[in-house]
Amino acid sequence: MDKMIRNLTIGLVLLIILAPLGLLAAGTAYGEWAPDELKDKVGFVPPGLEELSGIWNAPMPDYSISGAEGSMTLSSAAYILSAVIGVVICGGLLYFIGKKAAKN
């Protein structure tokens, strides 16, 4: 069991390092277009969509840091940083939730 956790963790670390490969996919996922991309497709921005789309300003939109967009190296670094933040917060939270749940 401990060996399995260790090996799976190694796999996860490899995935984090390789994560910038995900940046190579240039397009936008179906139904996830920004309002201006949608405008290019259908010719208008639906009014409700326009209103709701700006409801939240994420601190690191698209797993990036402002200023990193131009350079592949910087955006890769920001992407890896995002993965590390995600792993630490998600892993940490679930470890905490799991410990509490397992006790009960």
Q: What residues make contact with another protein under the rule CB under 8 A?
A: 1, 3-5, 7-9, 12, 15-16, 18-19, 21-32, 35, 38, 42, 44, 46-63, 79, 82-83, 85-87, 89-95, 97-99, 101-102, 104
> At its nearest, how many Å lie between another protein and the CB of residue 10?
11
Phi, psi of 61 (to 5 degrees): -60, 140
Task: Give me the residue label for tokens 């991309």.
Answer: 37
> At its nearest, how many Å lie between another protein and the CB of residue 70?
19
Secondary structure of residue 16 in the 3-state scheme: helix
Secondary structure of residue 82 in the 3-state scheme: helix
